[in-house]
A and B are shown apart, each in its own frame.
Chain A
Amino acid sequence: MNGVPLAWYLTLSVILFSLGAAGFLIRRSLLTMLMCVELMLNAVNLSFVAFAYRLQQVDGHIFAFFVMVIAAAEAAVGLAIVLALFRYRAAVEADEVGMLRL
Chain B
Amino acid sequence: MDAILFLVFAFIAVACGINVVLQRHPINSALSLIGVMGSLAVLYLLLGGEFIAAAQIIVYAGAVMVLFLFVIMLLNAGRERTQTVPWVVRLLGPPALILFVSALGVIAYRLLPYRDLVRFGGFTRGGAADVGRPLLTTYVLPFEVTTVAILVAIVGAVLLARKEGGE
CA distance A34 to B26 in the complex (A): 10
Task: Please determine whether A11 and B105 come into contact, CB atoms closer than 8 angstroms.
Answer: yes
Q: List the B side residues contacting A27 at CB < 8 Å.
A: 21, 80
User: Beta-carbon contacts of B139-167 to A below 8 Å, as 1s and 0s?
Assistant: 10010001001101110111111011000
In the assembled complex, A73 has its CB within 8 A of some CB on chain B: yes
Task: Please determine whether A19 and B160 come into contact, CB atoms closer than 8 angstroms.
Answer: no
User: How many A residues have CB within 8 A of the partner chain?
Assistant: 69
Task: Please determine whether A39 and B77 come into contact, CB atoms closer than 8 angstroms.
Answer: no
Task: Please determine whether B47 and A50 come into contact, CB atoms closer than 8 angstroms.
Answer: yes
Q: List the A side residues contacting B118 at CB < 8 Å.
A: 3-6, 9, 50, 53
The dominant DSSP class at the A interface is helix
With known contacts A4-B3, A14-B105, A83-B71, A23–B33 Cβ distance under 8 A: no
With known contacts A28-B82, A71-B60, A75-B64, A7–B109 Cβ distance under 8 A: yes
In the assembled complex, A70 has its CB within 8 A of some CB on chain B: yes
Using a CB–CB distance below 8 Å, which chain B residues touch chain A?
Answer: 1-3, 6, 10, 13-14, 17-18, 20-21, 23, 26, 29-30, 33, 36-37, 40, 43-44, 46-49, 51-52, 55-56, 59-60, 63-64, 67-68, 71-72, 74-75, 77, 80-85, 89, 93, 97, 100-101, 104-105, 108-109, 112, 114-120, 122-123, 125-126, 130-131, 134-135, 139, 142, 146, 149-150, 152-154, 156-161, 163-164
